[in-house]
Structure 1
Amino acid sequence: MASSTDPSAAAPPDQEGPSDFDKLREPLIGRLSMQAVALLFAAVFVLVGILGFLPGITQHLLFSTGPRFSGEHSHAMLFGVFMVSVLHNLVHIAYGAIGAVASFFAGTVRVYFFAGGLVYLALFVYGLVIDQHTAANFVPVNTADNFLHLGLGLLMILTGLVLHVRLNRMSAEEVRDSE
């Protein structure tokens, strides 16, 4: 006997239960939304990387002497707050490109968020332990960058966890619906 929560149990005799398309549509939408979130993160990383090369948005870019590739001598400040360099900007663009590629595959989206979050947490710790006024600060980072890296690391890991739980829940529902 069908349970009262079974949608096909409440269907009138002239209607069938959920179609095969309906059973596949929800998991597909869930996977697509996970991939869309990754693509959104990727777009933001690429945008931030590009903005780091634009005078006015990035203060003290020093194009007259050439932008600094890396190091603590880069005085370029994205939005006047975050210390950046050519290397820093290229890393953001690369992160965005990796996220864009990862967004094509539901399984790699989780890896992108978990691995990316761990990298950003490592950058946070790196920024705390180095002397920001030495060659060890090759990325370069400042206090604002450190807290941004902490927030991004936590956000990416949390997003990966939420997406992981969602995907597992959808997979369990697919198995249950196929029985």
Structure 2
Amino acid sequence: MTTASHHAHDFHVTRDHVRSASMGMGVVFLLVGILGFIPGITTQYGSMAFASGSEAMLLGAFQVSVLLNLLYLAMGAAGVWMSRGVLSARNFLLGSGAVLLVMWLYGLIVGTSAANILSTNASTNWLNLILGVVAVGLGAAYAMRHRGSRAL
């Protein structure tokens, strides 16, 4: 008869997890931002606009603009940089997740109107929602697990 450890059913978000999550999210954002500027990977590249009106499609599915690509690059650089410390990594996850959720909500509200200055489509909005929920979830899981702890 074997017995499971009392910790077997718990998921622990450790310092390494939160730092790795920040680094991973940062790398994903950097890749998305860089790939958005590469013709071929981004279809209809010639129709890319700085902001609204862009018809460029990353991987043929995610509508992108220069502004959106720059935003992803900035968030990616922040994620990589902030992964160096535990608190900054957690703050990056919470902050970038919140930004992505606001971008998702903004995309839902403005739709395809002229107010859509980021030039997002439904696929981009879903991507922002998923990445935002994952980032906030990881940051919040670490924060809740270690609330009140001074040894962060």
Match of 1:159 among 118, 138, 150: 138
Q: How does 1:23-172 map to 2 (within 5 A)?
A: 30-62=14-46, 67-71=48-52, 73-134=53-114, 136-168=115-147, 171=149
Deviations 1:38-82 (A, max 9, x none): 1111011101100001111110000xx7x41111x2110001011
Whole-Å Cα distance in 1 between the matches of residues 59 and 130 of structure 2? 18
Alpha-carbon distance, 1:131 to partner = 4.1
Alpha-carbon distance change, 112 to 56 in structure 1, aligned in 2, over 3 angstroms:
same
* Residues 31 and 167 in structure 1, CA contact (< 8 A), matched pair in contact too: no
Unaligned regions of 5+ residues in structure 1, if any?
1-29, 175-179
Deviations 1:4-63 (A, max 9, x none): xxxxxxxxxxxxxxxxxxxxxxxxxx323321221111011101100001111110000x
Task: Letter of the 1:98 partner, please give it.
Answer: A
* Residues 118 and 153 in structure 1, CA contact (< 8 A), matched pair in contact too: yes
> Identity of paired residues, percent?
36
Whole-Å Cα distance in 1 between the matches of residues 44 and 105 of structure 2? 26
Q: TM-score, normalized by length of structure 2?
A: 0.82
Query: What SS class does the counterpart of residue 45 from structure 2 fall into?
Result: coil
> Which has the bigger relative contact order, CA under 8 A and spacing at least 6?
2
Partner residue of 2:8? none
State which drifts further: 159-168 or 82-91: 159-168
Whole-Å Cα distance in 2 between the matches of residues 113 and 78 of structure 1? 24
* Residues 116 and 153 in structure 1, CA contact (< 8 A), matched pair in contact too: yes
Alpha-carbon distance, 1:125 to partner = 1.0
Partner residue of 2:10? none
Whole-Å Cα distance in 2 between the matches of residues 151 and 132 of structure 1? 20
Task: Letter of the 2:139 partner, please give it.
Answer: G
* Residues 30 and 77 in structure 2, CA contact (< 8 A), matched pair in contact too: yes
Alpha-carbon distance, 1:164 to partner = 2.1
- Please say which structure displays the higher CA radius of gyration: 1
